[in-house]
Amino acid sequence: MPDKGFLPVSQRDLSEKGWDTPDFIFICGDAYVDHPSFGHAVITRLLEAEGYRVGIISQPDWHSVDDFKRLGRPRLGVMVSSGVLDSMVNNYTASRHRRHKDVYSPGGKPGNRPDRALIVYCNRVREAFGDIPLMIGGLEASLRRFAHYDYWQDTVRSSILIDTNADLLIYGNGERAILEIAKLLERGVPVSSLKSIRGTAYACSMEELPKKLKPGFEDSGEKVLVLPSCEQVQKNKKDYARAFMTQYREQNAFTGHILIQQHNRKFVVQNQPMEPMSEKELDGVYALPYMRRWHPMYDKAGGVPAIEEVEFSITSHRGCFGGCSFCSIGFHQGRVIQPRSKESILQEAELLTQQENFKGYIHDVGGPTANFRIPACKNQALRGACKNRECLYPEPCKYLDTSHKEYIDLLRQLSGLPKVKKVFVRSGVRFDYAMQAKKDRFLEELCKNHISGQLKVAPEHVSNRVLRYMGKPPHDVYESFVRKYHAINKKLGKKQFLVPYFISGHPGSTLEDAIELALYIKDMGYMPEQVQQFIPTPGTLSTCMYYTGLDPRDMKPLYVARTEKEQQLQRALLQFHLPKNHKLIEEALKTAGRTDLIGYDRSCLIRPSGKKTISKKHVHRKPAGKTNLKFQARKK
């Protein structure tokens, strides 16, 4: 195992290690935080563990090529990631306004990464090092690997491979692929020959296309699907929807095809997804010698805020079979759950207890969804997730393994460790899945021992039609969960609340739907301080719906709140209690013909113009015994 310490970020660091040059340079749009929740830390530590010399250039000054030459020319290649988030999502709000904070930058200050960071960084790398092997990865690369709709330009952009001129794109979980690439480059294999590695994509000309993939070659035995070209999906929204749905359904390591999409004179080729990581492999990744903090060069700026949320949290698994239409995890990490062993998680917990600032609390144990700890069913080990069937939508699959016993046992073992006072679950619980756990009393265990006064859940909406587009269960499932949650807390003698998350402006949601949701929020006495406005990010079903006006699952048209004004109206309705929203809400209610909701009655959302919006004392709360009895406004 390598010596513990931060990886080189300067020539001085290289000299102290006695290196003339690194084997690889990793360029990242985030500040350098050596923690397993950050992709740049995982990949660089993994390469280091295999004996490679790795240097890191975080948030380089992109205005010239100088900062990209900071560590000299690497021996084997350059790897580039824009960071944990897509750079456009990181830089802009749903209203396309510049964000005032960047938690992945020193001191939380914005402006340290460019828009479309991958493209900018890769162009500088080519300027600095010419034809050096150039690999891109991370979320921005993964979700933009084909022609895709870009919300900020309101257009369909070509594959990120075309714009970056990168040799290889690593999508999804990149550990296996990056090690295979490194070993082949070490052996002297040209990067132009690395065209068969799972979990990667590349762009090439017709002449460079492997013979087995060329049109008319019938004896290769390869499973190949040709998507509508970039030019086709730019011109025809139905072709775009069909292309996306094919990409979505082929993200299966067991049954997926090689996908090809033509971009003018180039061809983007995606190899089949990498197989899910084994428990042993994943354990190894989280056992690497992370410093578990930001690099000291950020101390004067106050550090990097993003670590605060994960410093004393533990990732128990990867992947998600929830199937939410607005989420990109299925397209990125995949739907098959990849769990760590209990032993690995317990070892990490013991490591946390040894940290100087550990106060006795493990803040979270989970993943994309906390209670998806095991694969959805045994069949997934043999053939992956079903191509044309979701595990929970429109109702739970009959083969779904609903046991939460293993997760409960894990939480109990963690709670029993010396120095651990409490283990919380904060990464979100899928309530419809929790409701299926009828034998192991998961909710009772959760309420009794692992909630700090409130539980975050995501009903998202109340309209069953909108929920169907979202890939979420009908609203009555959530209502049943609420009743059960409050009954359990009453039995335990605890006063604990639910913090529900709602989305405004999702495809399929009309102004009338937003009003229905606003009335529901008012009726339960909840006054949200923050509302999630739908952002059409690459790689999601919902973004495809937003751009095409079609549900790609059945190709039927749906309503889309496309104008900025209607998006503002829908969002304002969910915060009807804020005086600044009064004019927008009044406009929304008049537009929808619901002026009956403007007045002094308790059933109204706002008072007439010139009057204040309804205060807390006018918010109606249901009498005891009814659904949604107690909620607490989300705290800042």
| Positive or negative: CA dihedral 271, 148, 115, 39 | negative
Helix orientation angle between 39-49 and 175-186, rounded to the nearest 10 degrees: 40
Tokens of 426: 């904060």
What does the pLDDT read at residue 117? 98
What does the pLDDT read at residue 340? 97
C-alpha to C-alpha distance for 9 and 70, rounded to whole angstroms: 8
Long-range contacts (CB closer than 8 Å, 24 or more residues apart) made by 377-383? 377/401, 380/336, 380/337, 382/254, 383/252, 383/254, 383/255
Q: Which residue has the tokens 């092997």?
A: 133
What does the pLDDT read at residue 618? 47
Q: Which of 379-388, 402-411, 570-579 has the lowest mean pLDDT?
A: 379-388
Tokens of 463: 């309209």
H-state helical runs in 416-459: 431-436, 442-449
Instruction: Evaluate if residue 218 carries a pLDDT over 60.
Output: no
Q: Are strands 168-170 and 134-136 parallel, antiparallel or unpaired?
A: parallel
What does the pLDDT read at residue 387? 85
Local structure of 134: helix, strand or coil? strand
pLDDT digits (tens, 9 = 90+) for 60-83: 999 999 999 999 999 999 999 999
Q: Which of 104-108, 293-297, 600-604 has the lowest mean pLDDT?
A: 600-604
Instruction: Evaluate if residue 224 carries a pLDDT over 70.
Output: yes
Local structure of 362: helix, strand or coil? strand
Instruction: Evaluate if residue 393 carries a pLDDT over 50.
Output: yes
Q: Which of 437-446, 502-511, 543-552, 554-563 has the lowest mean pLDDT?
A: 437-446
Mean pLDDT of 158-167: 98
The reply to whether domains 11-270 and 453-636 share a CATH topology is: no
Tokens of 406: 């293993």
Q: How many CA atoms lie within 13 A of 125 on its CB side?
A: 28
136, β-bridge pairs: 80, 169
What does the pLDDT read at residue 333? 87
What does the pLDDT read at residue 610? 60
Read off φ and ψ for residue 135, nearest 5 degrees: -115, 140
Instruction: Evaluate if residue 539 carries a pLDDT over 50.
Output: yes
Q: Which of 2-6, 519-523, 592-596, 614-618 has the lowest mean pLDDT?
A: 614-618
What does the pLDDT read at residue 219? 45
H-state helical runs in 313-441: 329-332, 342-353, 380-383, 405-415, 431-436
Mean pLDDT of 180-205: 97
Q: Are strands 532-533 and 293-294 parallel, antiparallel or unpaired?
A: unpaired
User: What is the widest separation between alpha-carbon atoms in the chain?
Assistant: 77
Return mean pLDDT, the chain.
Answer: 92
Percent of the chain with pLDDT over 70: 94
C-alpha to C-alpha distance for 380 and 389, rounded to whole angstroms: 12
Residue 227 carries which side chain, given as an amino acid letter?
Answer: L
Instruction: Evaluate if residue 415 carries a pLDDT over 60.
Output: yes
Local structure of 467: helix, strand or coil? helix
What does the pLDDT read at residue 216? 56
Confidence of residue 388 (pLDDT cuts 50, 70, 90): confident
Tokens of 97: 């306004």
Cα Rg, the chain, nearest whole Å: 25
Among 131, 178, 140, residue whose Cα is nearest residue 159: 140
Domain 453-636, second-level architecture: 2-Layer Sandwich (3.30)
- On the question of a cis peptide bond just before residue 394, with omega within 30 degrees of 0, the verdict is yes
Confidence of residue 635 (pLDDT cuts 50, 70, 90): very low
CA dihedral 341, 346, 351, 353 (to 10 degrees): 150
pLDDT digits (tens, 9 = 90+) for 395-414: 999 999 999 999 999 999 99
Q: Quote the CATH superfamily of domain 11-270.
A: Response regulator (3.40.50.2300)
Confidence of residue 614 (pLDDT cuts 50, 70, 90): low
Instruction: Evaluate if residue 341 carries a pLDDT over 50.
Output: yes
C-alpha to C-alpha distance for 616 and 391, rounded to whole angstroms: 40
pLDDT digits (tens, 9 = 90+) for 444-480: 999 999 998 899 899 999 999 999 999 999 999 999 9
Instruction: Evaluate if residue 222 carries a pLDDT over 70.
Output: no
Query: DSSP letter at 115?
Result: T
Domain ranges in the chain are 11-270, 453-636
Asked whether the beta carbons of 137 and 81 are under 8 A apart, the reply is: yes
Instruction: Evaluate if residue 598 carries a pLDDT over 60.
Output: yes
Confidence of residue 622 (pLDDT cuts 50, 70, 90): very low
What does the pLDDT read at residue 529? 77
Please, which residues have CB within 8 angstroms of residue 480's CB and are 6 or more apart in sequence?
A: 435
Q: What is the 3-state secondary structure (H, E, C) of 526-585?
A: CCCCCCEECCCCCCCHHHHHHHHCEECCCCEECCCCCCHHHHHHHHHHCCCCCHHHHHHH
Mean pLDDT of 317-333: 92
Read off φ and ψ for residue 400, nearest 5 degrees: -65, 130
Sheet with 532-533, edge to edge strand ranges: 454-460, 497-504, 532-533
C-alpha to C-alpha distance for 269 and 197, rounded to whole angstroms: 11
Mean pLDDT of 24-46: 98
Q: Using CB atoms within 10 A of its CB, is residue 172 exposed (0-12), middle (13-18) or buried (19+)?
A: buried
Mean pLDDT of 209-237: 82
